[in-house]
Structure 1
């Protein structure tokens, strides 16, 4: 039985990932500001944590480490605010960066200190194809996701050979955040521009995390795994719409 920490596991990709690891017999800790919306799983313990608060993150990681080794940490918590660059406010931008980028850095750093002492561990994170392609109306979000890929490479170089590091970059995923930000017509327009013809299910991204945490991926580190139904394989990407400001939580 492994011990797995996942941030932002109360819904969406994080929730699906927590269920995937727990279903395989692992002990999972969910660091999230909100309690899970779905029926509780006794194998997944919620620790109320704002990942933007590094002291709270460190306290949560210490709490888990006091019970034994930490095997896998997945920094998944993220938020987005759909708005044009001229609508962007300092408060929105700082919150997105604090959660999406500094939240990954703080959690990984706290976990890495434990894993270095163990001489073992896997650090994973949810990035996005938004970090490597141009997508309008998400300037701050896009920047944070590009930053996660850079963190992945840096942590891998500094912490090898004992700790492996990787990130998953999904394309369009049918999560509560996506359903909040997009109308059915907008979802259909995105699907029409994805060669696979649909959004990914959160469970498909969870399966990628489960693989990356396994011994089958033992030589994979410092890499970004893109899962987007070939959306970014060609010259176009699924971008559309107007700069309406909508806040959502992953």
Structure 2
């Protein structure tokens, strides 16, 4: 039985990922500032604000000490605030960076220190295709997701071969966060610009995390896996941005 720690597993992609590992018989811990919105199938909840490095370290240490190690740490917690670059408030931008980027660094740093002592472990994180492009309304969010991919490459270089690092970059996913920020008309416009013709289901992203944590992916490190239904494969981004801005 593996021990899996996932941040932000109370809803959305994190919740689906936690359930995927739990179904496989893994021991799952959910580090989230809020309790799960669904049932306990997402694992054991530890109330944690990932922007608080001390809190993250305490939570990771608690799991590590209880089970003699952590096999996989998935830094998934993330937030977004829709605002134009001229209207971004400092408090909002700092919170986005603290959660989306520094929260990943905090969790990976804490988990990796313990994995290094055992000589094995897998570090995973949720990035985004937004890190590949200029996407209006989310400048700070976009920058944090590009930063997650950079962290992934650096951790892989420094910690290989004992510890692997990889990230998943979803495109549009039908999560509570997406539904809260987009009108039905915007969702239709998004679907129209995705070659697959739809949003991803959170379970499809969870499947990617499960693969990356598996022995079958043991030669994969320092990589970013894009799952976007072909959204950024062609030269459609500019037109797409204008349609939903």
Q: TM-score, normalised by structure 1?
A: 0.95
Match of 1:241 in 2: 244
Q: Distance in 1 between matches of 2:165 and 2:39?
A: 31
Q: Distance in 2 between matches of 1:152 and 1:16?
A: 22
Structure 1 segments of 4 or more deviating over 6 A? none
User: Deviation per CA, 1:7-36, whole angstroms, max 9, x where unpaired?
Assistant: 000000000000000000000000000000
More contact order relative to length (CA 8 Å, sep ≥ 6):
1
Match of 1:185 in 2: 185
Q: Distance in 2 between matches of 1:200 and 1:88?
A: 29
Q: How does 1:149-228 map to 2 (within 5 A)?
A: 149-228=149-228
More helix by share: 2
User: Deviation per CA, 1:105-139, whole angstroms, max 9, x where unpaired?
Assistant: 00000000000001000000000000011211100
Match of 1:28 in 2: 28
Match of 2:46 in 1: 47
The alignment partner of 1:81 has SS state of coil
User: Deviation per CA, 1:65-96, whole angstroms, max 9, x where unpaired?
Assistant: 00121000000000000010011010000000
Which structure 1 residue ranges, 5 or more long, are not aligned?
A: 243-250
Q: Distance in 1 between matches of 2:204 and 2:221?
A: 20
